[in-house]
């Protein structure tokens, strides 16, 4: 439903400080005003690189996102980062419920919903809620029911659909080089668009230079969430220009 495509680079726990600075510098040099017309571009470095990357991107049109956030504001919660601390460094977006956090760190949909609630009630950040089925579920044909249930459990009651991004990322396609077929993407995105007509819908999972244009042209795909390919400035720029 968005007019401009939303292209989000998820740097995950990759890159040391020099690597993150170099990548941000390359991106800030490459992206020009013409890109502003076609896409909203966001990069999500690790928490510790946010202050430095925000400085490097100061004069660029690229926006900043975080990869996670605590479900409450400034308080005693060891090892977590508060939404206010993200906003101080210029974050506009925050990824929530990425499948790596769900599968490897046990993050539940109920926790994701708490985070969405906190972010929408107390900050100006836009939450990007990630959902997606496993290969088992897809092979049994249960992907729509699974994704619908996971999404509903990950959204708090009364969620503001106009300030919400949902990223459909089939778990088996993340970092594997496998992408869902364009038909499968269209079917899931059509289903999600019927469910949540006002929400911006991203596809993620092995988005690369050679498949980005087709994916971005698919009905109800408002943008992409890019992992591995966003670590390469040239590849990421070509994906942006495919929008
Ligand atoms: P990938 O990661 O592009 O490396 O598959 C996508 C993601 O996890 O968001």
**Would you write out the chain's pLDDT as a tens digit for each of its 243 residues?**
457 999 999 999 999 999 999 999 999 988 666 677 779 999 999 999 999 999 999 989 999 999 999 999 999 999 999 999 999 999 999 999 999 999 999 999 999 999 999 999 999 999 999 999 999 999 999 999 999 999 999 999 999 999 999 999 999 888 887 778 999 999 999 999 999 999 999 999 999 999 999 999 999 999 999 999 999 999 999 999 999
Question: Among all chains, which residue has been given the structure tokens 């459909």?
Answer: 168
Residue 179 has a pLDDT of 79
Residue to substitute in 15, 226, 229 for testing ligand 1 pocket (most ligand atoms within 8 angstroms of CB):
226
Q: Is 134 exposed, middle or buried (0-12, 13-18, 19+ CB in 10 A)?
A: middle
Q: pTM of this prediction? A: 0.96
Output the residue whose Cα is nearest ligand 1's atom 2: 227
**Residue 128 φ/ψ, nearest 5 degrees:** -115, 100
The answer to whether 87 and 123 have CB atoms below 8 angstroms apart is yes
Name beta bridge partners: 39. Answer: 5
127 lines ligand 1 (CB under 6 A): no
Question: From the CA of 236, how far away is ligand 1's center (Å)?
Answer: 12
Kindly list the distances between the CA atom of residue 95 and the CA atoms of 9, 46, 99, 115, 242, in Å, as whole numbers in the listed order. 11, 11, 11, 10, 23
97 lines ligand 1 (CB under 6 A): no
Residue to substitute in 43, 177, 227 for testing ligand 1 pocket (most ligand atoms within 8 angstroms of CB):
227
Catalytic residue annotation: 98, 169
With a CB cutoff of 8 Å and minimum separation 6, the contacts of 179 are: 173, 185, 205, 206, 207, 211, 215
H-type helices in the chain, by residue range?
A: 17-30, 33-38, 50-56, 83-88, 99-105, 109-122, 135-139, 143-154, 182-195, 209-217, 233-241
For residue 155 the two structure tokens come to 């959204």
67 lines ligand 1 (CB under 6 A): no
228 lines ligand 1 (CB under 6 A): yes
The answer to whether 237 and 229 have CB atoms below 8 angstroms apart is no
Q: Which ligand 1 atom minimizes the distance to the CA of 176?
A: 5
226 lines ligand 1 (CB under 6 A): yes
């Amino acid at each position: 439903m968005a007019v401009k495509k939303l292209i989000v680079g998820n740097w995950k726990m990759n890159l040391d400080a020099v690597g993150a600075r170099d990548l941000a510098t390359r991106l800030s040099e490459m992206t020009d005003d013409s890109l502003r017309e076609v896409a909203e571009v966001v990069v999500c470095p690790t928490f510790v690189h946010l202050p430095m990357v925000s400085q490097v991107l100061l004069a660029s049109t690229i926006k900043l996102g975080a990869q996670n956030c605590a479900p409450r504001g400034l308080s005693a919660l060891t090892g977590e980062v508060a939404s206010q601390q993200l906003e101080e460094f210029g974050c506009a977006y925050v990824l929530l419920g990425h499948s790596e956090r769900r599968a490897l760190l046990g993050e539940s949909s109920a926790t994701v919903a708490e985070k969405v609630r906190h972010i929408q009630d107390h900050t100006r950040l836009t939450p990007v809620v990630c959902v997606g089925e496993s290969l088992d579920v897809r092979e049994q044909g249960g992907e729509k029911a699974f994704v619908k249930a996971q999404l509903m459990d990950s959204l708090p009651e009364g969620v503001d659909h106009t300030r919400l991004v949902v990223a459909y990322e089939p778990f088996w396609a993340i970092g594997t080089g496998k992408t869902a077929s364009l038909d499968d993407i269209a079917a899931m995105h059509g289903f999600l668009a019927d469910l949540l007509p006002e929400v911006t819908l991203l596809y993620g999972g092995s988005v690369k230079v050679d498949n980005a244009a087709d994916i971005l042209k698919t009905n109800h795909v408002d943008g992409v969430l890019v992992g591995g390919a966003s670590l390469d400035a040239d590849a990421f720029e070509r994906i942006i220009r495919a929008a």
